[in-house]
Structure 1
Amino acid sequence: MDTQEILLPVASSLDAVTIGAKHPRADDVKIIGGRGYDLRQPIPIKYQEVRERFLNARQNFWTPNDIPMGEDKLQWNTNQLTEAERWLFKTNISYLTASDNLVPDNVDDAILRHITANEMRQYLRWQIAEESNHLESYLFILESFGLDEQGQGQIFNLYQEIPALTDKLNWNLTFTNNVVNCDAPVGSMIANRCLLEDLLSYYVFEFLFFPLGFSQIFALARQGKLKNTAEQYAYIWRDENLHAINGSWLIKQIIRENPGLWDANLQERARAIVDEAVKLEIAYAHASMPEGGVLGMSVHTYIDFAKFMGDRICENLSIKPLFNTRNHPLPWISEFELSKEKNFFESRVMEYRKGSNLEWE
């Protein structure tokens, strides 16, 4: 008689509802790879911190129309910005708009199919809504300048005209497609590795690409330019900070529950992902600031910030930093943190610990 345990398939939101199915126990629930329970059950809540993040995010919801844009409209239409500043703004908002389309698509197409804890699924669905709100913010900014659809389209379309912008977007899309096109079954080691690499790339998105982009507009605002737009970005940044915190936690929780994933090869792959991202940012810096920068933000400082953030990602993942940076090149960026919220940069970063095992806070 075969006494081998029958392994149930990984729970899926497409599973049919079954009469008489048992209520899951907390011990049954896994962040990924959970089996034998229905994902539509909102309880038990195993990961209370995820539930708290959802409740906090819901309290923080805002709308772009809450922020008056009259001062920026005047500056834009009375040539108070230099040509270099206008170009920086155009490339910046084009990339960020495309990015905030990319992120929710990745959550929906690649990540959610693997998540088997209802509270995390709930948070990620809320994140999708927040990203949609960010898209509305970018659209509202250009509308408030008085630009018609053609004028807006010329700006938004730059991500399809400038290779440095296109390359950044396609880089993240590669990871999304690796998950979507993975032939291995959900819950397998191969599928989980594809998922973890994707999560790492989008953690880079939230923690490196977004803050770098916001910093350019914050630099203009410190010179008295596009301050209304900077306020919009500050609210978006608050949301993205919380997404980054959740992304970091999700990566670590997957590794806690699947320690075999985080082997030496994947740790080296994680460092390579960060290195690739910083190189993409260097190219973007030159494309968005072709004259070497604008008042308050030079290409050199921007690149230093990219390397600084890359090292912080490595430290938070307990892998060896790439650039050995220590001093924050933009200490003034804290001026744009919303005071009511704990900011991601204030979260304690774990010290780098050598070896194949992660140690957790």
Structure 2
Amino acid sequence: MLDFDEPSNGDESPLLRKLSVAHSKTAYKNNSFSGIAESRQTADYKATKPVMTASKSMGKESAIEEITPTTEKHRVIFPMSASLAPVSIGARRPDADSVKIIGGQGYDVRQPVPLKYPNIRQHFLNARNNFWTPNDIAMGDDKMQWNTGKLTEEETWMFKCNISYLTASDNLVPDNLDNAILAQITANEMRQYLRWQMAEEANHIESYFFILESFGLDVEGQGQIFNLYQQVPELTAKLNWNLTFTNNVVSCGAPFGSPEANRALLEDLISYYIFEYLFFPLGFSQVFALARQGKLRNTAQQYQYIWRDENLHAINGRWLIRQIIKENPALWDKSMRERARAIINEAVILETNFGKATMPNGGIPGLSLKSYTDYARLMANNICQALGLELLFDIKEHPMAWLSEYEMKQEVNFFEGRVRDYRVGSDLKWE
């Protein structure tokens, strides 16, 4: 088991070197996404195969003298079901055995039945029951604290960086689903859930906007805070790290359903599972630490509802990755497992650097940088365990067990549960 006492931007990862401070000011240019799904269904696909020649002097028993890899261009067709395919008159309904999460063939993905994965439909129903809106949480106390200097300079800096990063990141997730994921999902119930997830991310963005607006900040004041993700290299690096995986999927070039396309997709899904399960909770913990000190408790309640949504996203993401591996076992080879561990470790390095940038003096009252970093390591180990990988870090105890006070495990309608939740929230004894 590895124990990284001080994760750093060392030689472990070429990708992290690309995302270093020196490169953080370079703007990432998105590829053109128009027509990408259609063009990837049938593609001029470059396949590499070895051409072996034998020594003439060695006769029948000759050994291979040289192996010269050559690249040959083939027209490869992967007849994967696609949402952009025209509706065919007289086409048969799919049967459950033919439906797959990715790579399904011979049926219309718009068909809602039969349900191949009923638990995913339940994910959707659970999420729908949890619908909430930011403006139903009163923000008056937080506005007064913000405008009367109740937060220290260090706490104010941490919060500004925090909400800037989270707002930008909640934009990344639906962009990834839209541009990289949905075109390759061939199970209707999963497509239905992911569409709802995109709507929830939009609601989260509105929540962050509503928080700053409720503080009385004008457009200029809000803009200065939201723009920090483009000014603080450690925030930029985290965002660009996930964007790299999205762009790898989009620019892969291999047809949907091919091993190369599936590998790029799986790496992308792992990176965004990390987003939902590791990056988001670490970010929320900073505001929950303020709430424990009696500061920005209304904002913390907004974050609670967001965390509940993100937790369901993580549960669905974990299931999605596992199911793809189950249906495509050859994809989860030694190389892919090692790559997955490297991706998870990169995330911890990025999160550690984020913690240092947002808490430059080693933390705030109630939240030390060490406990923050250890929490990232614990979550990384949990991800490894969920994916059947060897653990990365030698950490066994939860460094911030108090976070359980802020978990909202109940799956109830926001409006039905708000009286109880608000009453409990008033004294920070969360259920």
Superposed displacement of residue 276, structure 1: 0.3
Please say if 1:178 is aligned against 2:256: no
Candidates 150, 153, 164, aligned match of 2:220:
150
**Any idea what the Cα deviations from partners look like across 1:156-193, whole Å, max 9, x if unmatched?**
00000000000000000000000011110000010000
Candidates 272, 295, 315, aligned match of 2:342:
272
Please say if 1:90 is aligned against 2:90: no
SS at match of 2:405: helix
Q: What does residue range 275-354 of structure 1 map to in structure 2 within 5 Å?
A: 275-341=345-411
Q: Report the counterpart of residue 265 of structure 2 in structure 1.
A: 195
Please say if 1:68 is aligned against 2:138: yes
Quick one: percent identity of the two aligned structures? Answer: 68
Please say if 1:106 is aligned against 2:106: no
Distance 2:97 2:325 in 1: 17
Greater relative contact order (CA < 8 Å, ≥ 6 in sequence) = 2
Aligned length: 337
Superposed displacement of residue 111, structure 1: 0.5
Where structure 1 has 5 or more consecutive residues not aligned to the other structure, the ranges are 1-5, 343-361
Q: More deviation in 310-319 or 151-160?
A: 310-319
Which letter does structure 1 place at the counterpart of 2:394?
N
Distance 1:338 1:103 in 2: 22
Distance 1:341 1:304 in 2: 29
SS at match of 1:102: helix
Superposed displacement of residue 341, structure 1: 3.9
Distance 2:410 2:377 in 1: 28
Q: Judging changes above 3 Å, is the alpha-carbon distance between structure 1 residues 310 and 152 closer, same or farther for their aligned structure 2 residues?
A: same
**Any idea what the Cα deviations from partners look like across 1:269-290, whole Å, max 9, x if unmatched?**
0000010000001110010001
Distance 1:81 1:50 in 2: 42
**Any idea what the Cα deviations from partners look like across 1:55-113, whole Å, max 9, x if unmatched?**
11001000001110011000000000000000000000000000000000001100001
Which letter does structure 2 place at the counterpart of 1:307?
R
Check conservation: 2:126, 2:411, Cα contact below 8 A: no
Q: Judging changes above 3 Å, is the alpha-carbon distance between structure 1 residues 8 and 278 closer, same or farther for their aligned structure 2 residues?
A: closer
Distance 2:407 2:294 in 1: 17
TM-score by length of 1: 0.92
Superposed displacement of residue 7, structure 1: 7.5
Q: Report the counterpart of residue 232 of structure 1 in structure 2.
A: 302
Q: Judging changes above 3 Å, is the alpha-carbon distance between structure 1 residues 211 and 185 closer, same or farther for their aligned structure 2 residues?
A: same
Distance 2:350 2:141 in 1: 33
More strand by share: 2
Please say if 1:212 is aligned against 2:287: no
Please say if 1:262 is aligned against 2:332: yes
Superposed displacement of residue 339, structure 1: 4.6
Check conservation: 2:77, 2:255, Cα contact below 8 A: no
Query: What is the Cα-based RMSD across aligned positions, in Å?
Result: 1.2
